[in-house]
Amino acid sequence: MIDLKELILPKDNLIPLLRKLSKDARLVAPVKNDHGDTLFTAISDLDTTEIDLANQPQASLKPFFLPQQETLAHYQISGDTYQFTAPKAAEDTIFFGVRSCDLTALLYMDLIFSKPAKDTSYYDRRSHSLIITLGCNQPFANCFCEATNSGPYLEYGYGLQFIDLGDRYYVSAGRGKGADLLKKWGYFFCEVQEEDQRIRYQLFLEARGQFNRNIQLAHACHKLQKEEVPEEIWEQLAERCYDCGGCAYVCPTCTCFSVDDKPQSRDSGIRVRSWDACTSGGFTRMAGGHNPVDRSRHALKRRFLHKLKYDFASHGKASCTGCGRCVDICFGGVDITRFIDLLTRQENP
């Protein structure tokens, strides 16, 4: 526990440090593209690419660990053979500018993909990764990580955590790779002064005071352990769900997937894992057409109960990290915060 280390990185040293780091590993950070969308992007040239730390990346880290489509295996068929081979191993990657909510989501994914056995491809990428987070001094419009206990700053889980103090970053190292990195590149950093600690704490308090929304998430989780959700709520939500799967796709903790074999030629093909969403009708439909879920009433039931009821019961924590992306994307207005509001409002009319 004692290997936790804290240092100051002057902002002028950020790019030189990242340049060093990107010599040994792929560097991924938020970059604004030509359409104005900020997305985590692999950066090959730090001189021509500008890292965007002002906006929330529209997608989480999920695609880098559970890609929207990934090849799990190649297969060959010929005469007597029907043989599968594994894909090539992941490359070392450093993620920079990751928000607290998205790292919390990754820690949740670690849990999901380790039970009952480790998922080979996920853990291959995970073991080749180092995450550098940036604490949020200013929550974005729909964020509610305070309610989900996953921000604005983190206590653990990161390789390094950066806090923006204006002209410098307050850097905390987690165990292992993060601490090693500080040791290796120590000359970019300077010692923490008492003043830095004071400002950091002040910024933390201010950040916590800036959330626009008061989401009764913990209350909802406890309530769900004890009571059934009134059918009217499910029906009200189902009526405005358009089955687009957007919420599940942008959600950093929605990890449900499908596996399909795709022929590439007459005698070869690939086994592909792709994102799936429990909100869609085909998710539970079986061969022959029988579907044990009535989508017209329960389109969103699985998703919300999984995150707020079952995960809370089994891990002591809901698997919503308050990133607010589903709020941004749902055009039916039936995101998780609407559900929480409907559920908790009943008590205080």
Partner 1 sequence: MNKTFIPARAIIREIIRENDQISTFRLELIDKTKPFSFLPGQFLMVSVPHCGEAAISISSSPDALPLIDLSIRRAGELTTAIHSMEKGARLGLRGPFGKAFPVEKFSGRDLLFVAGGIGLAPLKSVIDHCLFQSGLDDDAVSGIRLLYGSRSPSDIAFTGTIGLWREQGIDVRLTVDEKDEHWTDHVGLVTELLEDITLDSNSISLICGPPVMIRSVIAKLTEMGCDDTNIFTTLERHMKCGMGLCGHCHLDGRLVCLDGPVFSVSELNTMDVMELSR
By C-beta, is 203 or 248 nearer to partner 1? 248
Instruction: Find the binding residues for partner 1 in span 305-324 (CB under 8 A).
Output: 305-306, 309-310, 313-314
Q: Which is nearer to partner 1, 120 or 210 (CB)?
A: 120
Site map (CB under 8 A) of partner 1, residues 206-245, x = contact: ----------------------------------------
The single residue among 115, 187, 209, 331 that binds partner 1, judged by CB under 8 A, is 115
3-class secondary structure per residue, 158-199? CCEEEEECCCEEEEEECCCHHHHHHHHCHHHCECCCHHHHHH
CB closer to partner 1, 52 vs 70 = 70
Comparing CB distances to partner 1, the nearer of 22 and 279 is 279
Burial class (CB in 10 A: 0-12, 13-18, 19+), 127: exposed
Which one, 120 or 197, has the nearer CB to partner 1?
Answer: 120
Residue closer to partner 1 (CB basis): 192 or 278: 278
Task: Give strand pairing partners of 41.
Answer: 29
- The answer to whether 81 and 126 are in contact (CB under 8 A) is no
Angle between helices 217-226 and 336-345 (to 10 degrees): 70
Identify which range of 25-33, 118-126, 203-211, 320-328 contacts partner 1 by CB under 8 A. 118-126
Is residue 113 close enough to count as binding partner 1 by CB under 8 A? yes
- Binding residue for partner 1, selected from 10, 24, 82, 92, defined by CB under 8 A: 82
How far apart are alpha carbons 76 and 83 in whole angstroms? 5
From residue 259 to residue 298, the character string flagging contacts with partner 1 as x (rule: CB under 8 A) and all else as - is xxx-x-----x-x-x--x-x----xxxxxx-x-xxx----
**CB-CB contact of 25 with 180 (8 Å):** no
Would you mind telling me the total number of residues written for the chain in this entry?
Answer: 349
Q: Which is nearer to partner 1, 240 or 285 (CB)?
A: 285
Task: Write the CB contacts of 95 (distance below 8 Å, at least 6 apart in sequence).
Answer: 28, 29, 40, 61, 64, 129, 130, 131, 132
Any contact of residue 107 with partner 1 (CB under 8 A)? no
Torsion angle in degrees (nearest 10) through CA of 240, 245, 246, 247: 80
Smallest distance, Å, CB 302 to partner 1?
A: 6
| The one among 36, 48, 81, 205 contacting partner 1 by CB under 8 A | 81
Which of 46, 53, 107, 112 is in the footprint of partner 1 by CB under 8 A? 112
For residue 134, which phi and psi values (nearest 5 degrees)?
-125, 115
- Minimum CB–partner distance for residue 219 and partner 1 (Å): 20
Q: Give the number of other CB atoms < 10 A from CB of residue 334.
A: 23
67-82 b/e (C-beta count within 10 Å ≥ 16 → b)? beebebbebeeeeeee
| Nearest-angstrom CA–CA distance, 41 and 22 | 13
The C-alpha atoms of residue 320 and residue 108 are separated, in whole angstroms, by 10
* Dihedral class, residue 36 (left if φ above 0, else alpha if ψ from -120 to 50, else beta): left
Beta-bridge mates of residue 207: none
Of 52, 102, 119, 146, the residue at the interface with partner 1 (CB under 8 A) is 119
Q: Is 302 in the site for partner 1 (CB under 8 A)?
A: yes
Residues 38-77: x where in contact with partner 1 by CB under 8 A, - otherwise, as a string = ----------------------------------xx-x-x
Binding stretches for partner 1 (CB under 8 A): 72-73, 75, 77, 80-86, 112-113, 115-120, 255-261, 263, 269, 271, 273, 276, 278, 283-288, 290, 292-294, 302, 305-306, 309-310, 313-314
